[in-house]
Structure 1
């Protein structure tokens, strides 16, 4: 039948605008496809831009919470004992010890040899000697402690504030309230950076924080927030492992 119709009437010719209409439909379909891809790409770009604009303060807030946890642990620690005792390993090779009584008598030991400390206090802050009584009298409020410590620093050495506060955590016989205040003050210092979990050279796990020193290098501390103890300290040139830091009734074995 189709062949008979074509023989009688010939092949049907399209209307004068048929090809144009078909081509427009094809072009429109392709345009819709391109627009859908463009829309998808634009949506992804917008989502990325939104992600970049959202403040990503989680590491900062995480570090702050860790320091506040350490402050709580420090506040509940004990300060009972006859001697303040610190034992450290320097640069992985040299070990030192310090014992100090509440009356200010002090002894040091290196390579097993015990020596009485005379002539000056075994404690200092930014080059200024501190007596045992001065350390005990430091405020247990974070803001007041920060102000007091800042006042002790030499003029123009504000960058030492974080380092001076950290010294109250383990190198000095600070009362529990003062150690807690030092942790809280550090939590509010913007220059103190949280680096994440870390282990010291003895394999002890803790949380790492760093801050700048006037020399241009950064000091990194690893702390155990559960016990509030500082585990190690290093500044790129020197390292110290804190093996013992606390009160004890066991004094130095004097010759």
Structure 2
């Protein structure tokens, strides 16, 4: 049994009077589907922090680097969720996506993952820092892939956060909660830290890239009619639950209601950004999403790269934004949103915004020393976040065919 399977079988409870079963029904923390790790390095899957190291690791020479630079425009501005919306913006995006011409030898994606950490000990004087990692992938026409990973210089999340950081003396070293009881993460800020050029690492042997188990050749043959595409995707087998009494794979079609919609949207996101899907398949993915119950389009937002798009809100408040590793330990709930550009038919960003801020506490299984543990609000990286504020995101800086 691997670490993830063991985590899925953890049984955690609240240290409050509310029973775990009632909590599970109210917050869906046992059953919310997480994004399946793909062929590249998964984001924050086996560690509580990426770009943040525990104090013990610092002594060993590990270091995370942050930049004091911040875009003056607040990235990822929150947008109130709307209860209406007819999906027309998704249909417009589908029409735009269908017009694309897939010229090039490689499908290149550059994805930047970010987690927003609260720095400080009180709500009144805390500031937020954006810790980022960059993943590049080049998938050839034969399905073989080369990858690159880099830690990017992180930065205060907004101009206001930068001002607070400066008023605090512009410290080059700050402590943040790691998401584990009693474990403190350390962030190092260095505005001059360089980011090296990508150094692609080809996959070994004849292995090809896979996206939710599908090879590029299989993706190229997916149906281009939305209902037929949905039917095909419902047959995909994976571990769709972040927390489940069984660790085995199951067909997506076994999910019901909002869980099914959330899982279908996750797969659609892969087809729209990560995978070398043909234009008509991308268009079908947009049209499929537009027809799913609970998907709402409304408002605009600016993503962390300063690009403005339309907000698409997905159903199901869940507790999985920081990855499968921390899914059973969250004390708040989060809602998944997309930011799309309907004019070009592109998915710009996926983000998780706080629906219910972290609160209360929960018992955890004993640690290696056998002593009881409990997760508390002060252990949470986003403990001072308010409803509607961004907790984490994935932004697609590049998603295009290229000959380079």
Q: Do Structure 1 and Structure 2 share a fold, with TM-score over 0.5?
A: yes
Q: Does 1:106 align with 2:132?
A: no
Among candidates 56, 65, 68, match of residue 91 of structure 2: 68
Distance 1:243 1:60 in 2: 27
Aligned pairs for 1:42-53 (under 5 A) are none
Rg larger for: 1
Question: Is contact 1:83-1:101 (8 Å) kept?
Answer: yes
Kindly indicate whether residue 137 of structure 2 is the aligned counterpart of residue 94 of structure 1.
Answer: no
> Per the alignment, in what secondary structure is the counterpart of residue 162 of structure 1?
helix
Report the alpha carbon displacement of residue 74 of structure 1 after superposing the two structures with TM: 0.6
Is 1:243 paired with 2:397?
Answer: yes
Given the superposition, is the C-alpha separation of residues 221 and 118 from structure 1 closer, same or farther in structure 2, using an over 3 Å criterion? Answer: farther
Q: Deviations over 1:87-133 (max 9, x none)?
A: 111115211100010101210012333211237543322xxx21111
Could you tell me whether the CA contact under 8 Å between 1:75 and 1:177 is conserved in 2? yes
Displacement, 1:238? Answer: 3.3
Query: Is the counterpart of residue 222 in structure 1 residue 346 in structure 2?
Result: no
Q: Secondary structure at the match of 1:60?
A: coil
1:169 aligns with 2:262: no
Select which of 204, 214, 234 maps to 1:150.
234
Runs of 4+ that moved beyond 6 A? none
Matched, 1:178 2:281: yes
State the secondary structure of the residue aligned to 2:394: strand
Higher RCO (C-alpha 8 Å, min separation 6): 2
Alignment match of 1:84 (pick from 107, 113, 116): 107
Q: Which has the higher helix share?
A: 1
**Structure 1 pair 230/105, CA: closer, same or farther in 2 (3 Å)?**
same
What CA distance in whole angstroms lies between the structure 1 residues aligned with 2:317 and 2:217?
28
Equivalent residues, number:
189
C-alpha deviation, 1:224, in angstroms: 0.3
Distance in 2, matches of 1:169 and 1:118, equals: 26
Aligned residue for 2:211?
Answer: 124
By how many angstroms is 1:215 displaced? 4.6
- TM-score (norm. length: structure 2): 0.44
Among 222, 230, 250, the alignment partner of 1:138 is: 222
Gap regions ≥5 residues in structure 1: 1-56, 251-255
**Length-normalised TM-score, structure 1:** 0.68
Deviation larger for 238-247 or 228-237: 228-237
Contact 2:309 2:341 in 1 (8 A): yes
Superposition deviation, residue 151 in structure 1: 1.5
SS in 1 for 2:222: coil
CA drift at 1:60 = 1.4
Deviations 1:117-161 (A, max 9, x none): 237543322xxx211110000011111001111121433333411
Q: Secondary structure at the match of 1:235?
A: strand
* RMSD between superposed Cα atoms in Å: 2.1
In structure 2, the residue matched to 1:33 is: none
Asked whether the 8 Å contact 1:193–1:210 carries over to 2, the reply is yes
